[in-house]
Structure 1
Amino acid sequence: MDADLYADYRQLAEDVRAAQDRMATIRVTAESDDGLISATVDSSGGLAELSLDPRVYHAPDSTALARTIVETIRRAAQNVLEERFAILARYLPADATPETSDLKLGPFLHELDREANGDRR
């Protein structure tokens, strides 16, 4: 492999790993419209914290409460996806969107390493 191309591969891999590290630290909190529910999700979109204001128990509609909790978690997860996308946008096609992009970097980094090491399979 050409030395310049190898250096380009290595630099790209280093940049993508740095982006991966930044994405791993993302935590986003969203609140329900009424401010009574707060959900924090981690970088993978998994629920990390859920806070319920005691006033949520004053309303007897458990179905509405559940719906609001789920919507608040979804809102936080969508914000995580958008933050992850913003970090990686420079590596993606111009028409890419958060919803249509695979933002998992492991397979991409594996392929970069394989190419950089001359394994062309």
Structure 2
Amino acid sequence: MERSTTELTGRLAEYARLAEHVRAIQDGIDEIRGTGYSDDGLVTAVVGGRGELVELELDPRIYRDRNAIELATKIVAAVHDAAEDAGREATTFAKKLAPQAKQGDDFDPMFDPALQLIEKARSEEGRR
């Protein structure tokens, strides 16, 4: 069966809307920043919404103790805390875009909103 021009135009518009929504999700995730600190406050880490380390600040007082293992432990802990903070922010952002029924403990802020949009488009396609 040959598809009408109107049907194809409608489908292309729906795909364009879907792509725009996915780009908005990506942009929102890219703007997220999470911050973490070492217990003594001498290490500050900032992590982006995709989990990448974007900033690491070492207070000059950190060099008074020349224990490399302790310094590495402080850095890892601060980065880990920053990543958790960014993850919470990403989840909060993404949940605003996802239907309430689709949110749970296994909610993935990076992919679930886009996957839910695709599933919605597929179900609407099935009704046609």
For normalisation by structure 2, the TM-score amounts to 0.65
The answer to whether structure 1 residue 118 and structure 2 residue 125 are counterparts is yes
Separation in 2, partners of 1:61, 1:13: 50
**Which of the pair is proportionally richer in helix?**
2
Query: Structure 2, unaligned stretches of length 5 or more?
Result: 1-6, 8-14
For normalisation by structure 1, the TM-score amounts to 0.69
Separation in 2, partners of 1:96, 1:10: 28
- Aligned partners of 2:18 and 2:118 also within 8 Å: no
Identity of aligned residues (%): 33
Residue among 28, 40, 44 paired with 2:34: 28
Task: Tell me which moved more, 39-48 or 11-20.
Answer: 11-20
Q: How many residues align?
A: 113
- Structure number with greater Rg is 2
Aligned counterpart, 1:68: 74
Q: Which fold has the larger relative contact order, with Cα–Cα distance below 8 Å and residues 6 or more apart in sequence? A: 1
Q: Which amino acid aligns with 2:89?
A: E
The answer to whether structure 1 residue 57 and structure 2 residue 88 are counterparts is no
Report runs of 4+ in structure 1 exceeding 4 Å deviation. Answer: 9-17, 92-95
| Residues 40-51 of structure 1: pairs in structure 2 closer than 5 A | 40-51=46-57
Separation in 1, partners of 2:49, 2:119: 23
| Cα RMSD, aligned residues only | 3.7
